[in-house]
Structure 1
Amino acid sequence: MPSIRSTRREPACLAPWHRPHGRGRMLSLIDKAWVAPLTLLPVPLGRQMVRGGGRTDRGAAASRQLLIDVSVIVREDARTGIQRVVRALLAQLLENPPPGWVVRLVRATKYRGYRTAPALNGLPWSGAGAGAPLHVGRGDVFLGLDLSAHLVPRHFGQLARWKKQGVALYFMVYDLLPVLHPQWFNPRTQRHFARWLRAVALLADGAVCISESVRNELESHLAERYHLPTHSIGLHHIHLGGDLRASVPSQGRPAAFDAWLSGLGSRPSVVMVGTLEPRKGHAQALSAFEQLWAQGEDVNLIIAGKPGWKVEDLLARIRQHPELGQRLHWLDHPSDEALEVLYRHADGALMASQAEGFGLPLVEAACHGRPVLARDIPVFREVGANAARYFSGNDPQTLAAALRQWLADMQTHGRRTGPAIPWQTWSDSARQLLACLPLGIPQHP
């Protein structure tokens, strides 16, 4: 599949051309005029103002539309965990659309509301063109599959108008970390996410969370922050797939990748997969491995992930580490193809995150038959059940002790393939997602 990554930026002189004109501009002004007071109202009262009326009908012969928001990934696929979910679920929904429904990709930009999204071979593509206007009606469903946190509040009026026309609005919720742990994120991300979450609280008919843990956190937050009664919004949860090959994986291996794998030697290898962020536990893990190396343990630590934010000290520490290239290895921006090989080569995966919405590397490692040592947090208990090994504590000594015992057990019992951590396919996840939406599809046990 051609790459959908694009770093192109529109020249400033073209910005006015992208702003709505004609009827679209008039609708935009009307939307802003009646929506503005909602920002000052309590959320329960605001929800009453945008309650769906269902006045617009498309006619009995027309197929209903499942409108899937791809606003972020169509502009740039940064290959984050969220965008892997978007790619994987979208591929499944396009390959197996719900009977009687038209799956339509939609996007919004800073200056233009939701329109059809450019696509190539059915998947989002950052091609030219602003897309065609959308005609919606009663019975259509909008799914905010992409995390368009900076766009949904900007086009709140359009979505509210759709809701009054009878469109059901559903949003994927990947986690609540920017509001629950703001110290891990930059101020801009915090602001965008808080505004998005308030828009979801005002507009959503339903929310689909990627774990029961996130669902419970969302339910509590809606009640405590916005005073929404239970069942005001239909809250659902699904689990994510572990089969990387079904996620429209990126291709390519770093130069001399195979030679590097061979150079790891016969010593055990533990892999940490994920963007380097403050919450991911890389600093604690590196300190724990330093203790193991000092005590004579001959083991590799492989960090696979691109640099994130607020990790300047960690990056400098890795780059200047005396074990870098020996027993410490960092794969910056690994492709999905490289991760597939890495999972197969590694003896186990370490999940040291202090908080997650799900934890894709846990089920991806399980899909490859690799054991997992994970921090003892609720979402990892939910996903890993009793099959993963767990550790507690934020100090390096505790993690080093857990690693030492885990590695010894694998060597003693020959459990390179690990216990049977439960995992499902992306096809399973897509079926779970469709079951959460008001599509009128019979559910079979």
Structure 2
Amino acid sequence: MCLYFDITDLLKHARKNGTVSGIQRVQIRVLQHLAAQTQPQEILCAYHIGRFRRVRICRAQDLFIDKTYDAKQMLVRLGLENQNTAFTTQELYDDLANYKNKSLKRALRKVKLLILGKLRPDCARSQMGLGPLSEQNNSQLKTIETWPHKKIQKNDHVVMIGTNWNISAVETLAKKHFRRGGKVSQVIYDLIPYRYPEFCIESLAKKFSTFLDRSPSFVSQYICISEATRIDLQKYLTETGNDKPTISWPLAHEFEGYGRNEISSQSSDSPIFKKISKPFVLCVGTIEVRKNGAMLLAVWQQLQKELGDKTPQLVFAGKYGWKILPFQERLRSDPALQRRVTVVDRVKDDDLAELYKQCLFSVFPSLVEGWGLPVGEAAWFGKFSIVSSSSSIPEVCGNLVDYIEPNNIDEWVQAIKRTVLADQCRQQREKIICRSPLRLWKDVAADLKQILDN
């Protein structure tokens, strides 16, 4: 039996982003470990990029060989990115993000950079504010073996492990396989666009709801990343008259590539640390309305009144998402708050690990989650956290962290103030965290394999 994993959305994300968010991190870690635990032909990746191309297949063992994520290397290995281009697709998108979408200026900028990239690569990179091409670009990466999809055997298993909310060629393949009696599993990360459309842009909420409605036509079973997500999905399926099996599949605490309870070397020369004052409290995740960052800013305003100079720096580590006007307006309107808040965008894993190691503690005030990776990652580095009591979040670390109702500003202020001032209590909680058993990504992968085999 072969397991076919749809990685189309992972590759599309890699074309526009040099760093990963939660869902992409899950896919990469799980596929890395599945490939390491099985025979080369057992774990295969299916993807469809480009309107007229067929679904292509590759071995996960060939693709997921790097310990750290490198979007360009992954795309080059698949022949989807030219290694010798002046800039990556992601670097181009980053530059164009400074221009209004679909504007003439944006279109002209794109044409100019593409032409300049062909004729004078270094000049193009300079205009984009990028450094010279690295030595790594000069060493040749080999493309891996890929082949067009021909036929999936009846006893094979198709796994939709990403955000396959758009109808794609891989979904069509999965539907045909299901109709022939084959197994198709769909991983569900959350039902947020369906249950809380106010936290999303309208187009995403509609797209996701349409996906949920059609998914029973090609899914044998749903695999949910938390019990809270499974309960939400089960309720939806019952309401819509579907009786598909739903299974919980909890994620990991491990921040892979970094040792458990690893201590900071204090020697990071990354430019992001030049912007950060110590001590600091860390909040990891996309800055969007659902993550409740505006509430956290209000908490920091109150802390400044109560703690004065003892107020720690607040560091947000994550890219900007949607519906962030309240966050921006609160920060923009308060110069004193600006001095206490730092936002670091598109953080690479090395820097994120160092932020976890150096922070005083972490906070995670999200209104709703499907899991809550940053809560577990902070624990991996032995750090205490104050987190939201909402949805799946209590499943991540149990009694190792403190819980606050996400919109209770007064309780957040008091909890953070206590943790800042009571060093001994915080350090005692850290000792408990450091000794507690935490879940590894290899365990998550092994559990998924068992679910799929059964």
Please give the range of the TM-score, normalised by the shorter of the 2 chains: 0.7 to 0.9
Residues 156-305 of structure 1 mapped to structure 2, 5 A cutoff: 156-224=171-239, 226-228=240-242, 232-246=243-257, 255-260=270-275, 264-265=277-278, 267=279, 269-296=280-307, 297-305=310-318
From the two aligned structures, give the one with the greater helix fraction: 2
How far apart, in 2, do the equivalents of 1:426 and 1:80 lie? Answer: 16
Residue 86 in structure 1 maps to residue 27 in structure 2: yes
AA paired with 1:96? Q
AA paired with 1:108? H
Residue 75 in structure 1 maps to residue 12 in structure 2: yes
Q: Is the 8 A contact 1:71 1:109 kept in 2?
A: yes
Residue 347 of structure 1 is matched in structure 2 by: 360
Q: 1:149 aligns with which of 165, 174, 183?
A: 165
How far apart, in 2, do the equivalents of 1:303 and 1:258 lie? Answer: 13
Residue 429 of structure 1 is matched in structure 2 by: 444
How far apart, in 2, do the equivalents of 1:324 and 1:335 lie? Answer: 26
After superposition, the Cα gap between the structure-2 partners of 1:241 and 1:196, relative to the gap in structure 1 and judged at 3 Å, is same
Structure 1 residue 396 displacement after superposition: 2.5
How far apart, in 2, do the equivalents of 1:100 and 1:94 lie? Answer: 7
Residues 91-102 of structure 1 mapped to structure 2, 5 A cutoff: 91-97=32-38, 102=42
Residue 338 of structure 1 is matched in structure 2 by: 351
Q: Is the 8 A contact 1:109 1:151 kept in 2?
A: no
Offset from partner CA, 1:29-76 (integer Å, 9 cap, x none): xxxxxxxxxxxxxxxxxxxxxxxxxxxxxxxxxxx2110100011233
How far apart, in 2, do the equivalents of 1:319 and 1:90 lie? Answer: 42
Per mean C-alpha deviation after superposition, the further-off stretch among 304-313 and 99-108 is 99-108
Q: Is the 8 A contact 1:385 1:422 kept in 2?
A: no
Structure 1 residue 200 displacement after superposition: 2.0
Structure 1 residue 158 displacement after superposition: 3.2
Per mean C-alpha deviation after superposition, the further-off stretch among 85-94 and 197-206 is 197-206
Residue 115 of structure 1 is matched in structure 2 by: 56
Q: Is the 8 A contact 1:73 1:146 kept in 2?
A: yes
Provide the alpha-carbon RMSD of the alignment.
2.6
Q: Which runs of 5+ in 2 are unaligned?
A: 65-73, 81-145, 259-267
Q: Secondary structure at the match of 2:13?
A: coil
After superposition, the Cα gap between the structure-2 partners of 1:316 and 1:212, relative to the gap in structure 1 and judged at 3 Å, is same
How far apart, in 1, do the equivalents of 2:313 and 2:429 lie? Answer: 15
How far apart, in 2, do the equivalents of 1:195 and 1:102 lie? Answer: 32
Offset from partner CA, 1:142-169 (integer Å, 9 cap, x none): 01111111135x7654322211333210
Residue 414 of structure 1 is matched in structure 2 by: 427
Residue 125 in structure 1 maps to residue 141 in structure 2: no
